[in-house]
Amino acid sequence: MSLSPHKPDSPNALIGRSVARPNAKRLLAGRGRYVTDIQLPRMLHAAFVRSPYAHANIVSIDTSCAATMRGVCLVATGEDLAKLCKPWVGTLDHFAGMKSPPQLPLAVGKVVWAGQAVVAVVAGTRAQAEDAIEHVAIEFEELEPVIDIDAARAIDATLINPDLGSNVAFHAKIESGNVEDAFRDAAAVIEKAYLFGRHTAVTLEPRAIIADYDPTEERLTVHHSTQTPYQFQDLYSRHYGLREARVRVVAPDVGGSFGMKLHVYHEDMAVVGLSIMSGRPVKFVADRIESFVSDIHARDHRIKARIAVEADGIIRGMDVDDVTAVGPFSTYPRTSVVEGNQVVRLIGAPYRFRNYRANLDVVFQNKVQTSQYRAVGHPIAFAVTEALVDSAARKLGIDPFEMRRRNIVTQDMYPYTSPTGYKFERLSHEACLDKLHALMDYPRLRREQAEFRRRGIHRGIGIAMFVEITNPSPAFYGVGGARISAQDGAVVKVTPSGEVHCLISVGEHGQGTETIVGQIIAEQLGIPMDAVRVFTGDTDITPHGGANWACRGAGIGGETALQAGRALKRNLLAVAAIILQARLEDLDMRDGEVVDAATGIPRISLAEIARICYFRSDTLPRDVTPQLSVAHHYSPKGYPFAFTNGVQACHVEVDVETGFVKILKVWVVEDCGRIINPMLVEEQVRGGVVQGLGAAFFEECLYSDNGQLRNGSLADYLVPMAGEMPDIEIAHVETPTLDTELGAKGCGEAGTAAASAAAMNAVNDAIAPLGVSVSQIPMTPQRLLRVLGYA
Amino acid sequence: MKARAFDYVRVSTIDDALAACARASGDFCYLAGGQSVVPSLSLRLQAPQLVIDISRIKEMRGIALIDGALRIGALTRHAEMLISPEIARHAPLLRLAAPHIAHPAIRNKGTIGGSIALADPAAEFPAVVLALDAELEIAGPDGRRRAKADGFFKGIYETGLEPGEILTAIIVPQFGENDRCAFDELARRHGDYALVGCAIQGRFAGNDVEAIRIAFLSAGPTQKRARNAEVVITGHRLSPKTIADAQSALELDLDPTEDEQTTATMRLHLARVLLGRVLGQFSCDSPRGGGRA
């Protein structure tokens, strides 16, 4: 039996090949089936009356007029749904001392952000529901909104949640080594404040849900554009008092998620209650404005940080203070403090200094909730780290590459535990730095930069290293009390015609999970890719699992598929050995056939084995019952996380008269362990870089002083678009994790993790000769002109 | 969001459109390319009882040279500006500006008449018709009339059109042998509303600028000519000093507004930088059709 997935030259090799996505043609042809495409009999549509105020008491609600309008079936208030739905609280036990108030589907008594859903109208069409919401009369009494990041902690601050006694959701402190000593007598100390604006995911497909409650069987079916159907099965069942096994959550085609589609949203919870109240299917599809005011936002950090270095560039220590504003409460069930927690734990991670101190304050604010979005905390941690490292290098006159080489955690130091407690199995900083240096032809770029400077053209080169948290074990959520699985399951079965179906708990939302799972299964079984079909995202059908978040699909889902495929192969070879009266160890599977392992001569096809097992089992010995379906579960057991690493470079040209930045090129060298599909890894990295460049230059949720989102449309909120994006060249280093046989780690957040860091360093490198620097993202023309002394 | 229910009528002549307007008992709006009207209906920013679809009116289509002037039907789409030989020859400034308007899908539907009649302060064509010294052909309940582009744009979404009037065509003076034009704008992304934009057309006498019209977009509540800058340049060679003086004069010409992207001060600064760059493309030595598309 040839079982190694690591032999690209073996006859079955698919792991490591750029296999095209089997689902791409269907999706490109417009044959995708998203939630909004689903039309159920007797289906109704929901629309919501939203709060125009960021903070206000609800004095009265009059729905009498709306209730009588054409097509309206149901008008529900917060009190109505509170009778059905148990409140939820967005805290986790392992974040000691964190606080958050109970939440309900619709506002009860007061509203805490502009855009919060207050009243739901359910009607025959969405247009009718929207007609009716114009006739719901709500009287508000405005309260002082808490908008500014400092206002939350002011002595006389308005309390958003008076029962909690303060606007501070969470506080954490990390202290390692001796920071005071490190900063005393250091050759150089650099201190700076960094600002990171709010942005949001902007998935192509917005949030969408259909809840379909059948009172006769007390069964709830939810068609949901989500990355975590199992988590929502648990939540809908617990909060609406339904038996879990009678709640089915189906994620059909999902048009992007980026972490945005795994949080509890008030409208989604409401839609479940509205279906229970009406006894009919109820659909809600967020339009773009609703997405901007109700999808989670992310980032919004202000960090004061300092670095102490020796004269030779060796980093002595870092000291950071992070304040982040998360919205009026903490998001459920994964909280709004994970980002801040990861920021303070990831700062400095590529480097070997031991003196580190961090202070984290997470405060409430009358804006929409923030929570996990692609690369949670990483972009902020590495923007701060890498800006400090570059500033120190500049001050000491050390080249940025050399500065990093002198400080990284080196090969002889693994396994290595960071000052913040992260355990690194093995990273490849030296190899990545060397590869990047060659890939970008760094010396040539520096020569060219000098030449351009003489001509008054300001080009800059920015380097940024990163590590990335992937393959999370139960240490991430399970230990905190959340019913969020860290394991995954797969069922693999042979069809009567000899093809293979794989039902697996990891999902597909555009990143290519189906493809890599298919590759892994096909390689194990020696069958062509097109003989494997992968099914995901249906809690009634696919095995229970964690699904997709924190870059776990390839590393955990992939290992699950690998083990399941091997188990099925063992069963198939066992029955083949009996049929062929051969020894099992003399057989292998290649090209859809069981072959003689030594000669490769075909002995019997998979289709023939299936025919015999399913239709002529009478021809097999009495004591043989072939098992042509197998189930396998896998849970990470070794390191709490499989950390990955890499380094990015960004090349920009700054127009110092206009503040416009042309992004000339980005290079990424990344190490995600075993690469299952190079094309998909590279597209994940590119997409991630683009989102990072969006954060660096374009994307920001802008609020007025009274808490109104001012740019809630795609005309005003600038997502990164192809016209402004540079070529992104990618190279790889492969350091497989030894925790699994597959050896794969995650790659989905690597691009985002350091793209904005490299971009900020590049801009600062470009404008350094002018004696100025920028420390806020996005780096808009306005902000750059301000540091350049105009405007 | 979904639009509120409305009545819809499609007409095939200007007279039918005006008759439909006369019969309307409540609010109504005209629909041409729909690139602004349809989103505003969906967002319920407007909710008229009646939408009069004028997009099939033949007499509002076509581009023709008549009596030494180019008549451009108001229903001419932005994309047509990029391919029409008449536009390239007789009104190249329109061709220079068109690629800056949004994205191809929008340019395939949007019309020049719609852009001018809506008068979004960030739209390109209102500035272009000011620079071209164009005339606007208008049909209304009281008959047909012509209006100069100068003075037509009065404020944000506010024009010289009276209720019920339809902009039917744009009349552009023929591009002369010594005429030159240039256009550019500063937009955060390709296709975005510009932070500031500038359209220039003028005539050279040798190396001197004999006449020049400079119009800005996104530099105030409406598209506007920079008359002080024009005076500074007229009769002079485009020396660095002339350009610097013109840039200085913009303080008197423009009344920049503040928004999410820019303060008023920064907008004025950007307008000056842009004027310098567009004047750099505006030269007697450059091709007649403009320095850059």
Give the model confidence (pLDDT) of A420-457 as tens digits: 999 999 999 999 999 999 999 999 999 999 999 999 99
Question: CB distance B263–A782 less than 8 Å?
Answer: yes
Tell me if chain A has a CB within 8 Å of the CB of B187.
no
Tell me if chain A has a CB within 8 Å of the CB of B193.
yes
Q: What is the percentage of chain A residues whose pLDDT exceeds 70?
A: 98
- What tokens were used for A683? 């597209």
Average pLDDT over residues A214-232: 97
Tell me if chain B has a CB within 8 Å of the CB of A705.
no
Chain B nearest CA to A91, separation (Å): 34
What local confidence, expressed as pLDDT, does residue A477 receive?
A: 86
Task: Enumerate the domain spans of chain B.
Answer: 7-53, 59-173, 179-282
Residue (of A751, A749, A775) closest to A763 by Cα position = A775
Average pLDDT over residues A245-256: 97
- Whether residue B228 is predicted with pLDDT greater than 70 in this model: the reply is yes
Residue (of A501, A491, A498, A520) closest to A592 by Cα position = A498
User: Can you tell me whether residue B131 is helix, strand or coil?
Assistant: helix
CA distance A383 to A764: 12
What local confidence, expressed as pLDDT, does residue A5 receive?
A: 44
- Whether residue A743 is predicted with pLDDT greater than 70 in this model: the reply is yes
Q: A20-47 in b/e burial notation, b at 16+ Cβ within 10 A?
A: ebbbeeeeeeeebebbbebeeeeebbbb
**pLDDT, chain A, mean:** 96
What local confidence, expressed as pLDDT, does residue A630 receive?
A: 98
Q: How confident is the model at residue A4 (pLDDT cuts 50, 70, 90)?
A: very low
Tell me if chain B has a CB within 8 Å of the CB of A780.
yes
**pLDDT, chain B, mean:** 95
Tell me if chain A has a CB within 8 Å of the CB of B188.
yes
Q: A752-763 in b/e burial notation, b at 16+ Cβ within 10 A?
A: bbbbbbbbbbbb
User: Can you tell me whether residue A235 is helix, strand or coil?
Assistant: helix
CA distance A349 to A424: 10
Q: What is the percentage of chain B residues whose pLDDT exceeds 70?
A: 98
Q: Are A476 and A486 in contact (CB under 8 A)?
A: yes
What local confidence, expressed as pLDDT, does residue A11 receive?
A: 65
- Whether residue A595 is predicted with pLDDT greater than 90 in this model: the reply is yes
Number of alpha carbons in the 13 Å side-chain half-sphere of residue A788: 24
What local confidence, expressed as pLDDT, does residue A539 receive?
A: 98
Average pLDDT over residues B77-100: 97
What local confidence, expressed as pLDDT, does residue A790 receive?
A: 84
| Beta-carbon contacts of residue B68 (< 8 Å; ≥ 6 apart) | B173, B174
Q: What is the percentage of chain B residues whose pLDDT exceeds 90?
A: 94
Dihedrals φ, ψ of A55, to 5°? -155, 115
Pick the CATH number of B59-173 from 3.40.50.150, 3.50.50.60, 3.30.465.10, 3.10.25.10: 3.30.465.10
What local confidence, expressed as pLDDT, does residue A474 receive?
A: 87
Residue type, B278: V
Strands A188-200 and A776-777, sheet pairing: parallel
- Whether residue A632 is predicted with pLDDT greater than 50 in this model: the reply is yes
CATH superfamily of B179-282: CO dehydrogenase flavoprotein, C-terminal domain (3.30.390.50)
Number of alpha carbons in the 13 Å side-chain half-sphere of residue A345: 17
Chain A nearest CA to B274, separation (Å): 9
Residues of B in contact with A287 (CB under 8 A): 1
Tell me if chain A has a CB within 8 Å of the CB of B186.
yes
Q: What is the percentage of chain A residues whose pLDDT exceeds 90?
A: 96
CA distance A506 to A514: 9
Average pLDDT over residues B83-92: 96
What local confidence, expressed as pLDDT, does residue A2 receive?
A: 39
- Whether residue B32 is predicted with pLDDT greater than 80 in this model: the reply is yes
- Whether residue A3 is predicted with pLDDT greater than 70 in this model: the reply is no
Question: CB distance B195–A781 less than 8 Å?
Answer: yes
Show the 3-state SS of A762-778.
Answer: HHHHHHHHHCCCCCEEC
Average pLDDT over residues A367-385: 97
CATH number for the region B7-53 comes to 3.30.43.10
Give CA A510 to chain center in angstroms: 13
Average pLDDT over residues A397-401: 98
Give CA A236 to chain center in angstroms: 22
User: Can you tell me whether residue A781 is helix, strand or coil?
Assistant: helix
Residue B104's CB is within 10 A of a number of other CB atoms, namely: 12
Chain B nearest CA to A121, separation (Å): 14
- Whether residue B260 is predicted with pLDDT greater than 90 in this model: the reply is no
Question: CB distance B193–A785 less than 8 Å?
Answer: no
| Beta-carbon contacts of residue B236 (< 8 Å; ≥ 6 apart) | B208, B209, B242
- Whether residue B37 is predicted with pLDDT greater than 70 in this model: the reply is yes
Give B133-166 pLDDT, tens digit per residue: 999 999 999 999 999 999 999 999 999 999 999 9
Tell me if chain A has a CB within 8 Å of the CB of B273.
yes
Find the residue in A nearest to B193 (Cα): A715
